[in-house]
Structure 1
């Protein structure tokens, strides 16, 4: 069939010899990079749901549940880890493999995954592909797309491979008799950890491994690395000896992440030290190690070696704040991101000092970036608050539990106080929407409906309403 060359008065005029790939182009409104990203994630969720509905994806002869499959697929693609059923016993090994693939693709990003495959197969990328990949991974320069994604693929394989080897050796020597069983658990946990997805084949997540450093620490390190962000990992690989040469983004992400880790871990250990339901019965060293885990996982990890439903209110509220902040940009973590949180802090500091420019080091931040950060933070506050209110309305949960589940879904964390499996249909739909927006991004989700930034040809007179 020939391709349409133009539309004349008597109908379309066709031109032969046009490559078939050009004939299958998507409409411009759909193919726009900002709108293509949410559609790509949504398509993968639909595909994952259909695969999980297949009889071979479930253990035994259970009747298929569309909501369980839909919720699990959404949670996997958005690398969250919230689950309405026990992952290890409800899904079959094939179902586990489907979840793993969905998490792997969702973690790096659908467009990014396609870009990596295209780079290794063809070596060239078109402008539209570069734009889509740039949107997906928040790359600043189009020229960085190709080299970055090659390093992304290598980084993922290294972190997941090393973590899988360490966990497999530990599982095979201390927990499971079958090496194949240990290997599968090691690979599954490694992929989930680096992608910051809290799915676990163990019914109690990591509770059975509390105090086992050979399990807790590798998973925690992989979660932290995955939550830093691919551009930061790539820069650290090249410039780790010269912190002064790091970009502002890398500085904010690295030092901000370490600062939040220290604060969250210190608060967790101090508050939970004598709580017998969490770490009160552990040795001092085990308490400190679990405290590090308790500082890392709320940022987006989702694994837990204790019951979050039994923590003190202060710890629960601290975890909500950490889930809201999340990890680094262009990472597998959710939330508003560390850079957004710190940038807002610099905005407040500049206002208190009476400075006209927001400065970080020797650089000034432009107003558009500040407006974006403010928009992300305010939209996120509204979404998490609305989610908590809807959960209270539909599922009759307490404010603390509703806020925790809402922040966990939006931050694509996967931690739960045990509420998720008991939610009714409206409550589960609320979490599904929050997980999707949390992974795609508040600005990207909103921009998907508005493809062009309007630039005014004139400026209106300014006014100064009373603030505060």
Structure 2
């Protein structure tokens, strides 16, 4: 009874972290079963843990070949973990609560708010319903397009095409990056039906549900968009266009990537490569053969990630955009940070700065540790660490060769990257602390 009462006072972020931990645990047990592999033998706890974490945290990194290692049962488990991770443990829990009881309590609302990042507590039940229905509808449309292409364009049987369509629809909309081919999507590098459909699913899933809902209602009236929507849309477009141009310029003559393609194929492949670091992790080019300059550009895109309250990871385009406004206001000597005709609260500024600095520190420390644990070069290790933290799933090919300690470090990074550094930190705190006094102010020299 005492434990039950204590549970009622848990911070919602604690429940989110525990929920994802439970999903990873269940997924690990299922993937460790002999039925989950094509060989009929257990994959082992480390492989099962890594894959379950990668799927539940919608990352896409893999230490074994998904196509040849996992059975249909194992693939279904992976798809289920991706779906659960994408929608969020608390979102699904709220849906189940509504179905069973027909009503929702304040505590459950706060849990759902912590997961969906909604800005109001007025009607979480309606928000969650929209999130689930919108997600399933998008996945169904993407699945049908992909299934039709696999069936009519690649001579797959109808049943197999449908299975491939639904698996990759779930994987793309939830920004997971798992594919059922050993070369991921490299065989479809110049197929616009496959690449553009998956890219569209990744972008929509990574925008964030509040932004998507507002765009649906107000797409004809940009002047009515909220700060969240404006910043998300503008930064997303800038990153997609900028990323495409940078990768085009860098890889245009690379004989192992864009070099052999015709001009339309190069533009398609570069655009696809610029979309995936939003934290999807699919690749239509051989990442290991890219130039180090392209790896660095991809590192930056992966670290920023996608939109808030969506299926993407990273520090989020909103955080990146708000920091740009903070820097601009400071350079102009303005006492307040304004975005359009709105003033940015100081709490949001502190949160953006804290999240970014914590993320940079985490990436730096993890890169140092992985460098010490493996013989790989700095550029490859940094790429792997940022990919894991940003829940992206792209790799230069060293994931399987990082050793047991390296695998466990990547598992931790993927988990933290999905739950969020600040969410994880607040989950460890038993309660919020407030200071009832203020100290005298003293200016310090900066720079």
- Whether these two folds match at TM > 0.5 is yes
Q: Quote the Cα distance in structure 1 between the aligned partners of 2:208 and 2:408.
A: 29
Q: Which residue of 2 aligns with 1:307?
A: 286
Q: Quote the Cα distance in structure 2 between the aligned partners of 1:432 and 1:457.
A: 40
Q: Which residue of 2 aligns with 1:320?
A: 299
Q: Quote the Cα distance in structure 1 between the aligned partners of 2:6 and 2:162.
A: 45
* SS class of match (1:233): helix
Q: Which residue of 1 aligns with 2:265?
A: 286
Q: 1:104·1:191 contact (CA, 8 Å) conserved in 2?
A: yes
Q: Which residue of 1 aligns with 2:350?
A: 371
Match of 2:7 among 11, 28, 36: 28
Structure 2 alignment gaps of length 5 or more: none
412-421 or 448-457: bigger deviation = 448-457
Q: 1:48·1:102 contact (CA, 8 Å) conserved in 2?
A: yes
Report the CA distance between 1:367 and its aligned residue. Answer: 1.0
Report the CA distance between 1:26 and its aligned residue. Answer: 5.9
Q: 2:37·2:71 contact (CA, 8 Å) conserved in 1?
A: yes
Structure 1 alignment gaps of length 5 or more: 5-22
Q: Which residue of 2 aligns with 1:338?
A: 317
Q: Quote the Cα distance in structure 1 between the aligned partners of 2:39 and 2:239.
A: 44
TM-score by length of 1: 0.93
**Highest Rg: 1 or 2?**
1
- Counterpart check, 1:460 vs 2:412: no
Structure 1 runs (4+) deviating above 6 angstroms are none
Report the CA distance between 1:64 and its aligned residue. Answer: 3.2
Q: Which residue of 1 aligns with 2:41?
A: 62
Report the CA distance between 1:413 and its aligned residue. Answer: 0.3
Match of 2:249 among 250, 266, 270: 270
Distance 1:267 1:153, change over 3 A: same
* SS class of match (2:59): coil
Report the CA distance between 1:89 and its aligned residue. Answer: 1.1
Q: Which residue of 1 aligns with 2:424?
A: 445
Task: Map residues 85-104 of structure 1 onto 2, 5 A cutoff.
Answer: 85-104=64-83
- Counterpart check, 1:71 vs 2:50: yes
Q: Quote the Cα distance in structure 2 between the aligned partners of 1:116 and 1:196.
A: 22
Q: Quote the Cα distance in structure 2 between the aligned partners of 1:418 and 1:144.
A: 45
Task: Map residues 418-429 of structure 1 onto 2, 5 A cutoff.
Answer: 418-429=397-408
Report the CA distance between 1:120 and its aligned residue. Answer: 4.5
The root-mean-square deviation of aligned C-alpha atoms, in Å, is 1.4
Q: 1:119·1:150 contact (CA, 8 Å) conserved in 2?
A: no
* SS class of match (2:141): helix
Aligned pairs, number: 447
416-425 or 53-62: bigger deviation = 53-62
Distance 1:24 1:181, change over 3 A: farther
- Counterpart check, 1:407 vs 2:386: yes
Report the CA distance between 1:457 and its aligned residue. Answer: 1.5
Q: 2:32·2:42 contact (CA, 8 Å) conserved in 1?
A: no
Q: Quote the Cα distance in structure 2 between the aligned partners of 1:415 and 1:344.
A: 26
Q: 2:273·2:285 contact (CA, 8 Å) conserved in 1?
A: no
Q: Quote the Cα distance in structure 1 between the aligned partners of 2:156 and 2:203.
A: 30
Q: Quote the Cα distance in structure 2 between the aligned partners of 1:136 and 1:61.
A: 37
Match of 1:252 among 219, 226, 231: 231
Q: Which residue of 1 aligns with 2:176?
A: 197
Q: 2:10·2:430 contact (CA, 8 Å) conserved in 1?
A: no
Report the CA distance between 1:324 and its aligned residue. Answer: 0.4
Report the CA distance between 1:398 and its aligned residue. Answer: 0.7
Q: Which residue of 2 aligns with 1:16?
A: none
Q: 2:11·2:431 contact (CA, 8 Å) conserved in 1?
A: no
Q: Which residue of 1 aligns with 2:207?
A: 228
Q: Quote the Cα distance in structure 2 between the aligned partners of 1:79 and 1:150.
A: 21
Q: Quote the Cα distance in structure 1 between the aligned partners of 2:123 and 2:252.
A: 46
Q: 1:148·1:234 contact (CA, 8 Å) conserved in 2?
A: no
Distance 1:59 1:138, change over 3 A: same
Task: Map residues 9-28 of structure 1 onto 2, 5 A cutoff.
Answer: 25=4, 27-28=6-7
> What per-residue deviation string (whole Å, max 9, x for no partner) do you get for residues 210-268 of structure 1?
10111111000000111101111111121111111111101111111111101101111
Q: Quote the Cα distance in structure 1 between the aligned partners of 2:107 and 2:305.
A: 29
Match of 2:129 among 150, 153, 174: 150
* SS class of match (2:217): helix
> What per-residue deviation string (whole Å, max 9, x for no partner) do you get for residues 315-337 of structure 1?
11010000000000011100000
Q: 1:261·1:292 contact (CA, 8 Å) conserved in 2?
A: yes
Match of 1:45 among 15, 24, 32: 24
Q: Which residue of 1 aligns with 2:163?
A: 184
Report the CA distance between 1:291 and its aligned residue. Answer: 1.3
Q: 1:299·1:327 contact (CA, 8 Å) conserved in 2?
A: yes
TM-score by length of 2: 0.97
Report the CA distance between 1:347 and its aligned residue. Answer: 0.6
Distance 1:180 1:30, change over 3 A: farther
